[in-house]
Structure 1
Amino acid sequence: MRIAVIGTGRIGAFHAGVLARHPEVHELVVADVDVARAVEVAALTGATAKATVPEAFAGADAVVIASATSAHAGLIAAAARAGLPVFCEKPVALDVPGTLAALRAVEAAGTELQLGFMRRFDAGYRHARELLRSGRLGRLHTVRAVTSDPAPPPAAYLPLSGGLYRDCLVHDFDIVRWVTGREVVEVYATGSDAGPALFRAAGDIDTAAAVLTLDDDTLVTATATRCNGAGYDVRLELAGDQDQFAVGLDDRTPLTSAEPQGPGRPDKPWTGFLERFAPAYEAELDTFVRLVRGEAPNPCGGRDALAALRVAEACELSRRERRVVRVAEIPAG
């Protein structure tokens, strides 16, 4: 199988390394607007660097898109027109109209689009989903989702990211839907830009909180920050009337107990998403390869990405207008 990787920044280089080791990938091509960077990644992975996207697409069996977010929708549509299945890092686009246009292109072409919501492939989240469906929690009444980055991203990234809800919390919105099997119907969200000035300069926030109501009246709290000095902290807690479980609670969770007999600060807290979710990233790309080969169904299609984005859009609207927002207010197509 020949796969083209478009975008060779941090996550693109990681994906290229994973695919270079995959036994079913016999040829790897990489391309980037920064040709020198593509050449460097090609040298490290044994891939072939191409100067343009059409050159990378030529002869490919599938495409992995890890470029700047602003380019995702156009690349998805171009790959669809070329008849190529696509794996794309989230999001499809930074807004609903752009997302819908890309999804229509894929649907018109009859090709596959798998989105990179890697938490669906993490062992802890998968086990939590199974436990919930087994009935061990009883009636689920509360979900708590936490995403905390250890330090802000580069200032140049923020204006292109789509903001904290679309760029960061969208992972939580997707995983809540996937683990619970329910849809978010209503949100109330707020945020703070009281941290580093680069967030205010970009019109973004560094910390956010949202209360979500699911379609069975389960309540969800979702919080995120870019300024968690203790380390990278991603958790999900499921509380039912019979039991409760936590995902992401281990000896590397950057959380110190205030209790005298409680656990202290971990010796090696998680430092970032690539370290924390490395096995999940590998698993999702392996699933994509099997999808292309016709051996697996699509585990996370474009409509899943749209559903998570609509929740993020509702949260942003709620924050701006300081009101409860029904997700139905956000266009669905």
Structure 2
Amino acid sequence: MRIGLAGVGRIGAFHARTLVGLDFVDELVVTDTNVEAARALAEEFGIEVAADSEALLASGVDGFVIATATPGHAPLLWQGIAAGVPTFCEKPVAATLEETIALTGLVAATGVPVHVGFQRRFDAGYQRARRAVESGELGFIHTIRANTHDQSPPHASYIPTSGGIFRDCNVHDFDILRFVTGQEVTSVYATGANKGADFFSGAGDVDTGAALLTLDDGTMVLVSSTRYNGAGHDVRMEVFGEKGTIAVGLDHSLAMGSAEEGVDFPRGPRKWSFMERFLPAYQAELTAFADVARGKRPSPCTVRDALEAFRVAEACELSRVERRPVALSEIKGV
């Protein structure tokens, strides 16, 4: 297959390294507004460079991968759909709710396959948790805890366009929550705080967030996020049921120490970034995208899925700002 990749920044370069190592990729062509960065990556891997996204899409690609900064996602997704090319887009598909709704309608009207990059759906632990819930192994589920704790903050320039901690970090938790439980969020109450760098509050954001979500079957979900988890990158989900409990991310890489005497868990080594934590999942999701592009399977994570996760994030941000519970019915959908 000939795959086109737009964006060679941190996640784009990571995807490029993944793609060139996958058997189904015969040719990879990249483009970026930073021409020198695109050329350097192309030279490193012996791949092609396109002058811009229009030239890339016109070069006969079988699939289009969007990994630019968030403001570029929606315009490039429109281009990919208009060209009729199966497209993979990193989350979020757009920076605003209105744009996301518009893209949901466009995909439905055109039928062009679009796969959104929520890689946790391809992580073995989360898939095991989903099976445990679906099979009834845990009995009824009453409580879930989910967290996304980054080891260190991104560059200050990233925050003003990130959408805020709930849209940028916890949106992954909101998507995987729907995936694991098969339920929808009905209400949220969220808060946040800043104890770190001034650039978070300067952008109207927080460096630490927390939310209480209620699912449509009455399950309580406790969600947390932070940009400052010096012990390492910590992404987990704990599912508490009537008959048992299961945890995702509870292994020897856990970024936490025990206060109990004589306990040697976890022994390490720890993970220090989301790319390290989810490398197998990233490989699996891009392999799945190849099947989507070849018509072998429907999208495993649609724009509609992305919209529903975005609506939860939007509700959390509204709750944080207005300091009140927010029903999901207050957030526009389709």
Is the structural similarity TM-score above 0.5? yes
Work out the percentage of aligned pairs sharing the same amino acid: 51
In 2, Cα distance between equivalents of 1:261 and 1:296 = 50
In 2, Cα distance between equivalents of 1:131 and 1:107 = 32
Which residue does 1:323 correspond to in 2? 324
Which residue does 1:31 correspond to in 2? 31
Per-residue deviation, 1:44: 2.0
**Normalised by the size of structure 2, how large is the TM-score?**
0.97
Which residue does 1:46 correspond to in 2? 46
Equivalences for residues 244-255 of structure 1 within 5 A:
244-255=245-256
Deviation by residue 1:272-303 (Cα, 9 ceiling, x = unmatched): 00000000000000000011111122100000
8 A contact 1:188–1:324 mirrored in 2: yes
Which residue does 2:7 correspond to in 1? 7
Which residue does 1:108 correspond to in 2? 109
Secondary structure at the counterpart of residue 114 of structure 1: strand
Secondary structure at the counterpart of residue 310 of structure 2: helix
Per-residue deviation, 1:264: 5.1
Per-residue deviation, 1:268: 2.0
In 2, Cα distance between equivalents of 1:267 and 1:249 = 11
Secondary structure at the counterpart of residue 168 of structure 1: helix
8 A contact 1:81–1:105 mirrored in 2: no
Secondary structure at the counterpart of residue 176 of structure 1: helix
Q: What is the letter of the counterpart of residue 108 of structure 2? A: E
The reply to whether residue 183 of structure 1 matches residue 184 of structure 2 is: yes
8 A contact 2:183–2:216 mirrored in 1: yes
8 A contact 1:149–1:228 mirrored in 2: yes
8 A contact 2:143–2:241 mirrored in 1: yes
In 2, Cα distance between equivalents of 1:224 and 1:307 = 19
Per-residue deviation, 1:27: 1.3
Structure 1 runs, 4 residues or longer, greater than 6 Å off = none
Which residue does 2:226 correspond to in 1? 225
In 2, Cα distance between equivalents of 1:143 and 1:78 = 39
Per-residue deviation, 1:78: 0.9
Which residue does 1:197 correspond to in 2? 198
Per-residue deviation, 1:267: 3.9
Per-residue deviation, 1:37: 0.6
The CA RMSD over aligned residues, in Å, is 1.1
In 2, Cα distance between equivalents of 1:93 and 1:315 = 17
Per-residue deviation, 1:265: 5.9
In 1, Cα distance between equivalents of 2:312 and 2:6 = 28
Per-residue deviation, 1:257: 1.1
Which residue does 1:269 correspond to in 2? 270
Deviation by residue 1:290-320 (Cα, 9 ceiling, x = unmatched): 1111112210000000000000000000011
**Structure 1 gaps, min length 5:** none
Q: 313-322 vs 104-113, which deviates more?
A: 104-113
Deviation by residue 1:83-125 (Cα, 9 ceiling, x = unmatched): 1111000001121101122223323322011000000000000
**Structure 2 gaps, min length 5:** none
Q: How many residues align?
A: 333
Per-residue deviation, 1:167: 0.3
Deviation by residue 1:232-274 (Cα, 9 ceiling, x = unmatched): 0000000001100100011111111111133356442110000
In 1, Cα distance between equivalents of 2:236 and 2:274 = 12
Equivalences for residues 74-89 of structure 1 within 5 A:
74-89=75-90
Deviation by residue 1:29-60 (Cα, 9 ceiling, x = unmatched): 10000011111111222220112111111111
In 2, Cα distance between equivalents of 1:264 and 1:218 = 30
In 1, Cα distance between equivalents of 2:73 and 2:317 = 21
Q: What is the letter of the counterpart of residue 24 of structure 2? A: E
In 1, Cα distance between equivalents of 2:122 and 2:89 = 15
Q: What is the letter of the counterpart of residue 41 of structure 1? A: L
In 1, Cα distance between equivalents of 2:46 and 2:291 = 22
Q: What is the letter of the counterpart of residue 17 of structure 1? A: R
Q: What is the letter of the counterpart of residue 132 of structure 1? A: V
Which residue does 1:21 correspond to in 2? 21
